[in-house]
Amino acid sequence: MTTLEMSREFDLKYDNVSSKSAPALDDYEKSVFLTNGMYKLLDISKSNLVKEGMTVPSEITKKLKKSYETTSQVGESATRKKIVSNAVFYTRASDIYHIELEQAKLNSDDPYLNGWVAKVIPVPYDRVLRVLKNPFLGPERDRILRIDSGLEGSSDIIQLIPPKNATINTYSLQYIKKPYPIILSDLSLYFPGDNYSIYGKTLPYSDEEATDVSEIVHRQIVDAAVDLAILHYRENSLSNNLQIK
């Protein structure tokens, strides 16, 4: 869909679901709901597939940009402390939607480990101590553990845990970037002086397409966006009614 087609389809479904009782929405409001609806839809799809041990379908993500990144190492700070002495902190991009390949190269005096490229395995922070105590799950030659330490500014900080007698030489990943937000019109022109943006963007993705997500899910994105808009309207209506009473 183009931005115009998506905007019109949103209006039609929004009016039908609300029986035209909900207030009209401007381009910025519709863009916010469409973008949030898109991210919600993709997150649910990804979560369900990961639980089933499957990958994100290429039909949905084939238009999304891919990036290969060799990340930068950072030290400890007041807000980040190592889980083990040879753990290493890295900073990486915060626009990751789905990681396709994640690996790290080892440094070690042990020739069995030195130069070996191992797979990186994510571990929830609340499980890492139990995993480290388990010889079948802890770090080894073919397995390096990753803990997400959260965002610092625009950077995503992670902690890598290699085997005991090794350190990390390099950490790299290939990933699919998050989709460009759905913006229905140039926000800088539509709302001059208001500095409106969505995830830092003010321009539509392109004249031909509303988003870089595959067209097979465009209508599902509109449906998800309308659901969010109607929920927002009903919650505000209930809140206003309670205040009046």
Q: Are residues 70 and 169 both part of a single domain?
A: yes
Q: Which residues contact 8 (CB under 8 A, 6 or more apart)?
A: none
CA distance linking residue 74 with residue 149, whole number of Å: 12
Strand partners, 69: 173
**Statement: residue 31 has pLDDT above 80:** yes
| Strand duo 117-122 + 143-152: pairing | parallel
Which is higher by pLDDT, 240 or 139? 139
Claim to verify: residue 53 and residue 74 sit in the same structural domain: no
Number of H helices, E strands in the chain: 6, 8
Least confident range of 16-25, 39-48, 142-151, 161-170:
39-48
Residue 169 within any structural domain of the chain? yes
Asked whether residue 243 is domain-assigned, the answer is no
Q: Give the separation between CA 162 and CA 190, rounded to whole angstroms.
A: 51
Residues 55 and 71 in one domain: no
Strand pairing category for 167-177 and 143-152: unpaired
The residue out of 177, 203, 225 marking a domain boundary is 177
Tokens at 148, concatenated: 């997400």
Confidence at residue 215, expressed as pLDDT on a 0 to 100 scale: 85
Report pLDDT for 57: 54
Q: Residue 24 belongs to what H/E stretch?
A: none
125 and 158 part of one domain: yes
Which residue, 177, 200, 216, sits at the end of a domain?
177
DSSP class per residue in 82-150: -SSTT-EEEEE-S-EEEEEEEEEEEE-SSTTTTT-EEEEEE--GGGHHHHHH-TTTS-BTTEEEEEEEE
**Could you tell me if residue 88 is inside a domain?**
yes
Q: What is the pTM of this model?
A: 0.70
Q: How confident is the model at residue 194 (pLDDT cuts 50, 70, 90)?
A: confident
Which H or E run includes 10? helix 3-18
Lowest mean pLDDT among 46-50, 165-169, 175-179, 193-197: 46-50
Q: Domain range for residue 167?
A: 66-177
Confidence of residue 51 (pLDDT cuts 50, 70, 90): very low
Please name the residues in contact with 9: beta carbons below 8 A apart, sequence gap of 6 or more: 1, 219, 222
Residues 25 and 38 in one domain: yes
Tell me, yes or no, whether 143 lies in a domain: yes
| pLDDT at residue 189, rounded to an integer | 85
- In this structure, the answer to whether residues 136 and 205 fall within a common structural domain is no
